[in-house]
Amino acid sequence: MTTFRVRYAPSPTGHLHIGGARTALFNYLIARKMGGQFIIRFEDTDQTRHVESGVSNQLDGLKWLGVEWDESVDIGGPYGPYRQLERLELYRPFVDQLLREGNAYHCYCSEADLEQERAEQEAKGEMPRYSGKCRHLSAEQIEAFQAEGRKPSIRFRVPEDRIIGFTDKIREEVEFETNGIGDFIIVRPDGIPTYNFAVILDDHLMKITLVIRGEEHLTNTPRQIMMYEALGLPVPEFAHLALILNQDRKKMSKRDESIIQFIQQYQDLGYLPEAVMNFIALLGWSPKGEEEMFTREELIEQFDLDRMSKSPAVFDMDKLNWMNNQYIKKADTARIVALAIPHLQRAGRLPETLTAEQQQWVHTLVALYQEQLSYAAQIVPLSELFFREEVTFQDEEAAAMMKEEHAPIVLGSFLTQVEQASELNVDALKAMMKAVQTETGYKGKQLFMTIRVALTGQMHGPDLNVTLHLLGKETVISRLKKLL
Ligand code: GLU
């Protein structure tokens, strides 16, 4: 029996993008579900787009998300190397076979020749494609080109009048006419194979049984199938994932600012990886029931290519934030504190190293807002009131509350209580509120909201006693005095 083997094959051109993360995740989930293997290899033959840290960026991003792999550049494996530029030797026999059997040929056309050809075709209103000019060069012509010093590329000879069909596991029956496809380059003049050629050799040599990738590769598939056939190699199965659209239902582009595009950014902002994984899993896959929250193990159990959507997935940032908030609410506070601290430090609100007391303080602060956080970085705007020199009132209504008749009475009484207290802990504050109530006769909103607005500027907010405890005696006294 053949082992189920799938792969993710990014070009190391930068950070891990949402689309790439989804492809990797789906491959990983199905591999685990099927008890197969998941391979990550790098398509680095396009050196103009090469980024030095591209490989580690991809792997680090996936590791953070919780995706695991069985073979790659970092852990090796029996089918390596896992970078195309290190595999050039392995491709050579296949190039020779195609040339020998007449399924490929040398093409001496220069960029300028091709440009001219394209222009002529466009002028005639034809779809531009390579005319096949070098298909039947004579020995003399070849010699003449070589004497000129031209370096040939190698093109695949596309068979005429054929229909290439395959059954895609998501898109079902797909067909392409070969007459629409010009002979395409498989090896560039510098000897480096192009994507379409290298990818089939890697998939073959790495014994990949199912290719899961983005829909943008659908039109590459007939080219790849023709080459498998020409080489007499078995063709793997294919599953092409529908596009991901942004919130305006337009194709997601890397410049789009309405959504966060890179996994690293989610990590930096303090999203929880299990929430991001859960969310990405729903981009094109739908679970059986109503439930949408899944652990990694549940995703592995439930994931199924039969439940993939043919129509594009819409990336809904609000839903991601909602989902991340659900996970944050359930998370251990200490974990959220660890994510929040660097943001408070960067905002200049905490020193580089924290005393035990400061650590305790920030723990209480984060716990106060944990329910509200969509991601850890939000602690900075949410907790602003603790760090401001002066109270600013959120609106006129709040400011007006301070002018009401009862305000100075309540606040004056509260100030006396605070001044007498040794420290502002939650129990002490409860007792003080009672005392103010007894002394002034004000209660409910007139008591609590007055104190809240006076000290925070806000009419509503998290637990008042904890808020006052965090502000501390000194700040409470100085804010009250300024106001009175
Ligand atoms: N390097 C290609 C990409 O990043 C991989 C395509 C494939 O999976 O065949 O889109």
Q: Is 10 in the pocket of ligand 1 (CB under 6 A)?
A: yes
Question: Could you report the per-residue pLDDT of 179-238, keeping only the tens digit for each?
Answer: 989 999 999 999 999 999 999 999 999 999 999 999 999 999 999 999 999 999 999 999
**Separation between Cα atoms, residue 263 and residue 271, nearest integer Å:** 10
Per-residue model confidence (pLDDT) at position 1? 67
CA 67 – ligand 1 centroid, Å: 18
Give, using CA atoms, the residue closest to atom 4 of ligand 1: 10
Any idea what the Cα angle at residue 178 is, between residues 174 and 181, rounded to 5°? 105
Index of the ligand 1 atom closest to the CA of residue 20 = 4
Per-residue model confidence (pLDDT) at position 13? 86
| Number of helices and strands in the chain (H, E) | 19, 11
CA 9 – ligand 1 centroid, Å: 5
CA 213 – ligand 1 centroid, Å: 7
Q: Is 240 in the pocket of ligand 1 (CB under 6 A)?
A: no
Whole-structure pTM value: 0.94
Q: Is 198 in the pocket of ligand 1 (CB under 6 A)?
A: no
CA 11 – ligand 1 centroid, Å: 7
Q: Is 43 in the pocket of ligand 1 (CB under 6 A)?
A: yes
CA 437 – ligand 1 centroid, Å: 69
Write phi, then psi, for 73 (nearest 5 degrees): -65, -30
Per-residue model confidence (pLDDT) at position 280? 98
**Catalytic residue list contains 63:** no
Buried (b) or exposed (e) across 249-281, using 16+ Cβ within 10 A?
eeebeeeeeeebbbbbebbebbbbbbbbbbbbb
Per-residue model confidence (pLDDT) at position 247? 85
* Weakly modelled stretches of the chain, pLDDT under 50: none
From 250, 254, 481, 482, the catalytic residue: 254
Q: Is 199 in the pocket of ligand 1 (CB under 6 A)?
A: yes
Per-residue model confidence (pLDDT) at position 251? 83
For the chain, domains (ranges, CATH) are 1-69+242-330 (3.40.50.620), 88-241 (3.40.50.620), 333-384 (1.10.8.70), 396-483 (1.10.10.350)
Index of the ligand 1 atom closest to the CA of residue 220 = 9
Instruction: For residue 379, count CB atoms less than 10 angstroms from its CB and return exposed for 0-12, middle for 13-18, buried for 19 or more.
Output: buried
Q: Are strands 5-8 and 37-40 parallel, antiparallel or unpaired?
A: parallel
Per-residue model confidence (pLDDT) at position 456? 96
